[in-house]
Amino acid sequence: MKRIAILGSTGSIGTQALDVIKANPDSFELEVLTAHSNADLLIQQALEFNPNTIVIANENLYDKVQDALQHTDIKVYAGANALCAVVEMGTVDMVLTAMVGYAGLQPTIRAIKAGKHIALANKETLVVAGQLITDLAKAHGVNIYPVDSEHSAIFQCLSGEFHNPIEKIILTASGGPFRGRTAADLATVTKAQALKHPNWDMGAKITIDSASLMNKGLEVIEAKWLFGLKNEQIEVVVHPQSIIHSLVQFEDGSIKAQLGLPDMKLPIQYALGYPNRLKSDFPRFNFMDYPQLTFEQPDLETFRNLALAFKAMEQGGNMPCILNAANEIAVSAFLRDEVGFLQMSDIIESCMAKVAYIANPSFEDYVTTDREAREKAIQLINN
């Protein structure tokens, strides 16, 4: 029995993780649920799964959640500090980080310091502070299991290859809803169009990141830290069908790939259940439904965010933190119709040029960098 805490249980990953846990009652026990502001769904989940403790990050909603659950034994807390405290509970074995954005950094650090294994969906944490997080995990003997489908694919391909060096990895990208479009096309695309992903149904932020290819850029940086790779060992190929989830090439030239239908429940279940493959009734892949699997070069000139992410990774230090903060602000402004699709890249590029570079950032430096990059991005939007 693994006792699980889910940070972000009301989101796309969180709700699918609950489906996995529900289908495997002999393998998992739910200890902690947390959400930001979807109190109704959090209450419903708490009543259904009866966890030990829940946290609503938005403190204004504490009374509502507490009132709804006062007839139960479930402990209810509110606020960002509570979120960091619950991951340290002695009854938690593994923390699934399924919250979105930089807000995942602090609770992930606290969980690692408390010796909890991490099932990592919150890629922003590794983008912002990959060195710090991987060093901490090593120091505390904590494993970080990837949930992101591409990284799960690589992790699965590496099974049994412990002593065999990786020559390179190839991350697949669907290309998103705007694959093949020109910059002129992208200048006028709408929020509604960007929110329609061809293959995956995900939260709003990652869906916009997928349309701009920033998601793939964040995943390149995530892969660097998860698998201890040099920058030049990471490639991206566009594969519109999203059936091959990623590939590893070894030093003998052999390539291993992991395939399956695009369904996040599989990588979620693999991360939670590792090293066991639990039996599932997920729909099976049929080759006859996909007679052609195709591949293309990513268009780094049109989709500048991917090029900016590669650049941030090469510059290292706090640059990926700047990239991430500027992107979070740009995406939320795009979702409020305050900036156009292409302006998102302009904002990120400007922030990367203007926020102070730090080669070897401490945790405090990341906090300062994140704040400065957000302020700079907001200034750029308001001007």
Is 219 annotated to bind a ligand? Reply is: yes
Q: Mind giving me the DSSP string for 44-73?
A: HHHHHH--SEEEESSGGGHHHHHHHHTTSS
Is 123 annotated to bind a ligand? Reply is: yes
**Which CB atom, from 149 or from 369, has the smaller least distance to Mg ion?**
149
Find the binding residues for ligand NAD in span 257-316 (CB under 6 A): 264
- Tell me which of 29, 31, 124, 148 binds Mg ion, using CB under 5 A: 148
Contacting residues for 170 by C-beta, under 8 A, at least 6 apart: 235, 236, 237, 246, 247, 248, 249, 255
Is 48 annotated to bind a ligand? Reply is: no
**Which CB atom, from 83 or from 312, has the smaller least distance to ligand NAD?**
83
Q: Is 148 in the site for ligand NAD (CB under 6 A)?
A: yes
Q: Is 51 in the site for ligand NAD (CB under 6 A)?
A: no
CB of 269 to Mg ion, least distance (A): 16
**Which CB atom, from 148 or from 370, has the smaller least distance to Mg ion?**
148
Residue type, 303: F
Q: Is 186 in the site for ligand NAD (CB under 6 A)?
A: no
What is the Cβ-side half-sphere exposure of residue 208, based on CA atoms within 13 angstroms? 24
| Strand partners for 146 | 120
H/E run at residue 320: helix 319-335
CB of 34 to ligand NAD, least distance (A): 6
Which range touches Mg ion (CB under 5 A), out of 58-66, 145-153, 183-191, 296-304?
Answer: 145-153
Is 161 annotated to bind a ligand? Reply is: no
Q: Is 124 in the site for ligand NAD (CB under 6 A)?
A: yes
Q: Mind giving me the DSSP string for 82-108?
A: HHHHHTT-TT--EEEE---SGGGHHHH
Q: Is 98 in the site for ligand NAD (CB under 6 A)?
A: yes
CA distances for 379 relative to 49, 309, 354, 357, angstroms: 44, 22, 12, 19
Residue whose C-beta lies closest to ligand NAD: 11
Residue type, 69: L
- Which positions from 189 to 228 touch ligand NAD by CB under 6 A, shown as an x/- string? -----------x-xx-xx----------------------
| Strand partners for 255 | 249
Structure tokens at 342: 């292409």
**Which CB atom, from 11 or from 130, has the smaller least distance to ligand NAD?**
11
Binding partner selected for residue 130 from Mg ion, ligand NAD, none, CB under the kind-specific 5 to 8 Å limit: none
- Tell me which of 61, 76, 94, 121 binds ligand NAD, using CB under 6 A: 121
Q: Is 236 in the site for ligand NAD (CB under 6 A)?
A: no
H/E run at residue 145: strand 144-146
Binding partner selected for residue 250 from ligand NAD, Mg ion, none, CB under the kind-specific 5 to 8 Å limit: none
Task: Judge contact between 291 and 339, C-beta under 8 A.
Answer: no
CA–CA distance, 178 with 223 (Å, rounded to integer) = 24
CB of 291 to ligand NAD, least distance (A): 26
- Tell me which of 3, 4, 5, 11 binds ligand NAD, using CB under 6 A: 11
3-class DSSP assignment, residue 4: strand
**Which CB atom, from 83 or from 248, has the smaller least distance to ligand NAD?**
83
SS3 annotation, 186-244: HCCCCHHHHCCCCCCCCCHHHHHHHHHCHHHHHHHHHHHHHHCCCHHHEEEEECCCCCE
Size of the site for Mg ion (CB under 5 A): 3
Contacts to Mg ion by CB under 5 A: 148-150
Contacts to ligand NAD by CB under 6 A: 8-14, 35-36, 38, 57, 83, 98-100, 103, 121-124, 148, 200, 202-203, 205-206, 264
Binding residues for Mn(2+): 148, 150, 219
